[in-house]
Structure 1
Amino acid sequence: MSRTTRFVVVTLAVVLIGAALGFLYASPYIALDRVKRAADARDAQTVNEYVDFPALRSSLKEQVAALLTRRVDMQKSGNPLAIIGAMIGAALVGPLVDSYATPDGVAAILNGIPPRGLPGERPPSVPAGAAASGAATQAPQPPQPPQPPQTTAGYRGINTFVVTYQHGAGDARYSAIFHRSGLVSWKLVAVDLNG
């Protein structure tokens, strides 16, 4: 093998390894983009590929129950009717979690609209494709945050990727948590409502 041939082979190998490592690093960003587009378009089949719904449901149940517990603790010295209302809200955790563990709920979470633990709360419903295409519709628009949330994303370990949302300097933060599922596949598995 000549010196030139060896140089070409080594260069090609370095380029291929660099491209593979770059794709491996970018894989959660690609998965985030795909699941967000699919959720906005209400493409349930694609959303199912990128979301572990049993794990997400379990995470949401824990997070919403913790929100309600904090509300009850804060209102213990206050109005007894508020405490009763908070306890009724706790009984409604199941339906709230079930409504957010859907393509509509995933779209809301990935668009900066997390569950707040309010009785009867449901994720806002955006017409299929409207968010992805930007098309104007005559239908009433769901409540949207005043500004798009500030979003940061990054690895929290080799197998965990976290997207953190915040609407303003004083607003609460929350995170969508993805876990590696294979070498380059990622799934949304949890939401951390505490940021």
Structure 2
Amino acid sequence: MKKLLLLIAVVGLTFLGWYLASPWWAMKSLADAAQAQDIAALEEKVDFPALRASASEQMNEEIARRRGQNGALGELGGALAERIGDAVIDRTITPESVSGLVASGSLVVGVLPQRLRGQELSWDIEREGFQNFRAIGTFEDGTEGPTLIFRREQLGWVVTGFDLP
């Protein structure tokens, strides 16, 4: 009986350790791969089709929001942007751009405001149940950074989306 209780306690503590530490470890290993610009490691840690779908969805929501603001010209521009948007996203969401997002806070460093360039980006983990967590970026001066969305895949985690501030 004591051996069974000991086994249950060991399994429970192992699970608790994994539950608490694995998101932190996943974000640290992603940040390390981004810092080293290790493309192979980034490709293992990021679900690029899901990340592109997330970017496409965000872009389409923004286009729809702005579409009616400029009358007929806005409608035409919105329709054109939706048609070419997926091609642009496919070319933009790459291991190199994800590396830049994790390391600097921007998919394209040139569009990052000057005051944020060169600032360290720290990441806090926010759990969303057993299947997902968010890594919330914050710059040294307290400015909100990007948020990475992770999904559990077996015992590990992969990036499946992001939110830009």
- The two structures share one fold, judged by TM-score above 0.5: yes
| C-alpha distance 65-166 of structure 1, shift in aligned 2 (>3 A) | farther
Question: Is the CA contact 2:51–2:159 (under 8 Å) kept in the aligned structure 1?
Answer: yes
Question: Is the CA contact 1:163–1:176 (under 8 Å) kept in the aligned structure 2?
Answer: yes
Amino acid at match of 1:175: T
Q: Identify the residue that residue 185 of structure 1 maps to in structure 2.
A: 156
Q: Identify the residue that residue 75 of structure 1 maps to in structure 2.
A: 70
Q: Structure 1: how far apart are the matches of 2:137 and 2:76?
A: 31
* Aligned residues with identical type, % of pairs: 25
Question: Is the CA contact 1:104–1:124 (under 8 Å) kept in the aligned structure 2?
Answer: no
Larger radius of gyration: 1
Question: Is the CA contact 1:61–1:94 (under 8 Å) kept in the aligned structure 2?
Answer: yes
Q: 1:145 Cα shift?
A: 2.3
Amino acid at match of 2:58: Q
Amino acid at match of 2:106: I
Q: 1:22 Cα shift?
A: 1.3
Q: Identify the residue that residue 90 of structure 2 maps to in structure 1.
A: 98
Amino acid at match of 1:186: W
Q: Structure 2: how far apart are the matches of 1:104 and 1:75?
A: 35
Matched, 1:156 2:128: yes
Question: 2:128 is paired with a residue of what secondary structure?
Answer: strand
Correspondence for 1:40 among 24, 31, 35: 35
Q: Which structure has greater strand proportion?
A: 2
| C-alpha distance 73-191 of structure 1, shift in aligned 2 (>3 A) | farther
Q: Identify the residue that residue 132 of structure 1 maps to in structure 2.
A: none
Correspondence for 2:50 among 52, 55, 58: 55
Q: CA RMSD in A?
A: 3.7
Q: Structure 2: how far apart are the matches of 1:51 and 1:158?
A: 19
CA shift digits 1:71-108 (9 cap, x unpaired): 3333339xx5x776665544442243123321122123
Q: Identify the residue that residue 113 of structure 1 maps to in structure 2.
A: 106
| C-alpha distance 173-32 of structure 1, shift in aligned 2 (>3 A) | closer
Amino acid at match of 2:16: L
Question: Is the CA contact 1:100–1:106 (under 8 Å) kept in the aligned structure 2?
Answer: no
Question: Is the CA contact 2:33–2:39 (under 8 Å) kept in the aligned structure 1?
Answer: yes
- Count of aligned residue pairs for this structure pair: 160
Unaligned runs of 5+ in 1: 1-5, 115-122, 126-142
Relative to the length of structure 1, the TM-score reads: 0.63
Runs of 4+ displaced beyond 6 Å: 9-13
Question: Is the CA contact 1:150–1:166 (under 8 Å) kept in the aligned structure 2?
Answer: yes
Q: Which structure has greater helix proportion?
A: 2
Amino acid at match of 2:116: P
CA shift digits 1:96-133 (9 cap, x unpaired): 3123321122123323215xxxxxxxx238xxxxxxxx
